[in-house]
Chain A
Amino acid sequence: MTMESMSFADWLPVIFIGLMGLAVLIYAVLDGYDLGVGILLPMDASDESQRDTMIASIGPFWDANETWLVLGVGLLLIAFPSAHSMVLMNLYIPTAIMLIGLIMRGVAFDFRAKAAVDHKLTWDRTFKIGSLLTSLTQGYMLGQYVMGFESSWSAQLFSALSAIGVTAAYSYIGAAWLILKTEGKLQRRAVHWTRLAGRAAFVGVVAVSVVNPLVNPGVFDRWFTFPLVMFALLVPMLCFLAFTANEILLRRLPKVDDRHCWIPFVNVLLVFLLCFTGLAFSFYPEIVPGKLDIWQAASATESLQFILVGAAIVVPTILAYTVFSYRVFRGKATELRYH
């Protein structure tokens, strides 16, 4: 299909995969940092005040962050129903475990603040375990998706690697978020965490990038076909640059007057964006690798049109009031009060 011959009806699935990609990317970044904060939660008895601050830093946001997952899955359901069924039926058990993880951390967040003092530690543990469970299963599902839902041991191994990689990446962005939102002792700790998680995430990204084209011949061709290869290789190079820049900067943080405390987060953001671009570039226009492309999976044109009208108005509005909310809560995290 060439661009000129495409009708509006042909463009609709492209628009929706773009919207869905946007939702998934925003989800990975936003829920990524709050899952990461959950994973990093230190569990010593002496760490309680640091746990309070860490959780306070994500308090006003986590709820809306998770909504991006609902939107991403929702768009898959609305625009590509057959892909939705295929993906979720293949990932039935990991999906159920991820949902349990999301439930655990969501309620733990609220229970910890309101429960009797003797239960607070239990809820903090629940929060940490729930965050970890969610990240691991998401990474596992990503691996399975890339491997075309194979159940061979090599596919399982790759999915396990991807599970650890995604968990490291979430910890990376979570730690960078903490550098931005905290100060003093906790901030220094966060700098340390960011360095460790950054290295782990780097290994994960490299591993996934190497294995992906090796096991998927289509992906290999796409990345290494001249002249696109010049552009394509820009993505991993920039990604490497962002990792390196962070590595160098983190040695010098925190600086006087808290200068540059926001740069690690922006760098990680860049890493996420580039990894996402890489994945999208590997598979577009296939929505289930090797099985289904977006035109085969798309729902009826009139339904897509109906929802597009709403999305065109509402998505910018959502972005606007999300920005408003982040402005309201800008600056260092303070103790959460309901009044």
Chain B
Amino acid sequence: MLDTLVLSRMQFAANISFHILFPTITIALGWILFFFKLRFDQTDNPVWMRAYRFWVKVFALTFALGVVSGITMSFQFGTNWPGFMETVGNIAGPLLGYEVLTAFFLEATFLGIMLFGINRVPSKIHTLSALIVAIGTTISAFWILALNSWMHTPAGYEMRDGVAHVTSWLEVIFNPSFPYRFTHMLLASGLTAAFFVAGLSAYRILQGDPKLAPRLALKTGLVLAAILAPVQAFVGDLHGLNTFEHQPQKIAAMEGVWETERGAPLLLFAIPDEAQRTNHFEIAIPKMASLILTHELDGEIRGLNEFEGNHPPVKPLFFGFRVMVGMGVLMLAVAWTGCYLLLRRRGELPVWMLKIVVAMTFSGWLATLSGWYVTEIGRQPWLVTGVLPTADAVTPLAPANVGFSLTMYLLVYVVLMSAYIHTLRVMARKSVKVEEFETEAPQAGGKLTNVPDATEEGAA
């Protein structure tokens, strides 16, 4: 029988995994939309406006899913993890509070103007709203990652009677792992959104869309991904070094290193065996892990056996890490090949390449989720490293209650996910058939499209 702890962990994992999918898209998609709108303001080229109009609808849908799945999160702390707030509430509370105060209202309010206000405010104000929404989503990421990073590498606090009290807010917010994690996540969002935009645009082109807007969006997505992928590799490496310094047991599990050794090999593949504390079927590059982590061929990596009984489960970290890195390499390859082909063929991709890009539409989700699984499972058995074990924070509720809510959430999530993907496809197909003739600049009180109402796409 599953106990409340396991069920609560499953529920939290389910909620946050489902939730993170949508902000991961919207954080960067907000900036991409601002870019589209800004380019339209600068160039008066209506193709930018058409690209904006399609993607703003996708943004609205994705954002709504992010909002509703996020509201669930704000209740989770009290319902399932009362020990978390009792012990570190003095730190977690204000950080979450600042997220609501500085980000949620900003994005939610200006989203209304961004989505529905283009005919009611001057174009400049509308572009400004798009910018504010993008800033809002980024600020939101800032606070939530500050808190999450603090749970990994707590700083700027002292314990009094078993309760954490703040000694320096600056140290709390800019704790050792925060700058790396924040940058890593923003770039992950950029890559996710880039492939999402490129993938859905490629789908439209494959469906026979002759218009320029999807081609422009495809190009934007691929170029963005081509730039961000190598930057992400670099930042990811820095993040890894930071983790190596502060959470060596996490790195040991990611790399499958059991005994402390100098000149540790990089395992391309293996099956870690926690019972026998060894790996099977290793395929390794000698000394590479030491080189990557210590920048020396015979640098020392502390093994899992040094942390016996106090390190995270090895398998999920080992495989999760490889899935994330594998996706990263694949993204880099696809983005660069795509850009190369775009250059060679003057903006048109061959059908086989379009199909590959479509297949990569949700690649960012896979990479982001596996990355988060590595870092979050890697913190176990702690909820806050060295301060609060996960098992001590859980609710005393009966398992049946948690089982009930978990089942409900899972059901709803399955329905929502299929509806979301289905609706994206419907939107893409609908947009293929819509004729657009946009010639004039938008004005307050005027219409943008200059076409009869009947042909306008999906007025909401």
Contact = CB atoms under 8 A, between A and B. Distances in A.
Q: Do A and B bind each other?
A: yes
Given A67-B108, A329-B112, A81 B93 contact: yes
Give the interface size class of chain A. Answer: 35 or more
A56 B368 CA distance: 35
A113 interface: yes
B116 A60 contact: yes
B16 interface: no
B408 A74 contact: no
Contact of A60 (B49, B113, B169, B416): B113
A99 B72 CA distance: 6
A60 B115 contact: yes
A64 B78 CA distance: 23
Interface stretch (A87-95, A160-168, A280-288): A87-95
Contact of B112 (A61, A88, A92, A100): A61
B68 A106 contact: yes
Contacts of A302: 90, 165-166
A49 interface: no
Contacts of B94: 78, 303, 306-307, 310
A174 B101 CA distance: 26
B67 A106 contact: yes
Contact of B78 (A85, A321, A339): A85
Nearest to B98: A310
Interface string B427-451: 1000000000000001000001100
Contacts of B90: 299-300, 302-303
Most buried by B among A106, A306, A311, A338: A338
Interface in B69-86: 69-72, 74-75, 77-79, 82, 85-86
Interface string A41-64: 000000000000000100111011
Contact of B460 (A67, A71, A93, A114): A114
Interface string B58-70: 0011011101111
Most buried by B among A99, A300, A315, A336: A99
A88 B116 CA distance: 36
Interface string A138-160: 00000000000000000000000
Contacts of A253: none
Give the interface size class of chain B. Answer: 35 or more
Contacts of B91: 303
B97 A78 contact: yes
A96 B74 contact: no
A110 B112 CA distance: 13
Contact of A59 (B109, B165, B395, B460): B460
A103 B412 contact: yes
Interface in A310-339: 310-311, 314-315, 318, 321-322, 325, 328-329, 335-339
B112 A59 contact: yes
A329 B116 contact: yes
A73 interface: yes
Main DSSP-derived SS at the A contact region: helix
Contacts of B45: none
A222 interface: no
A110 B97 contact: no
Most buried by A among B71, B111, B117, B405: B71
A84 interface: yes
Interface string B137-173: 0000000000000000000000000010110010000
Interface of A: 56, 59-61, 63-64, 66-67, 69-71, 73-79, 81-82, 84-85, 87-89, 92-93, 95-97, 99-100, 102-104, 106-107, 109-111, 113-116, 299-300, 302-303, 306-307, 310-311, 314-315, 318, 321-322, 325, 328-329, 335-339
* Top 4 closest pairs, chain A to chain B, by CB: A60-B112, A113-B460, A78-B93, A88-B78
19 contacts: A56-B460, A60-B117, A63-B112, A64-B109, A70-B100, A71-B100, A74-B100, A77-B74, A77-B78, A77-B89, A89-B82, A96-B79, A99-B71, A111-B419, A116-B426, A325-B110, A329-B117, A336-B116, A337-B116
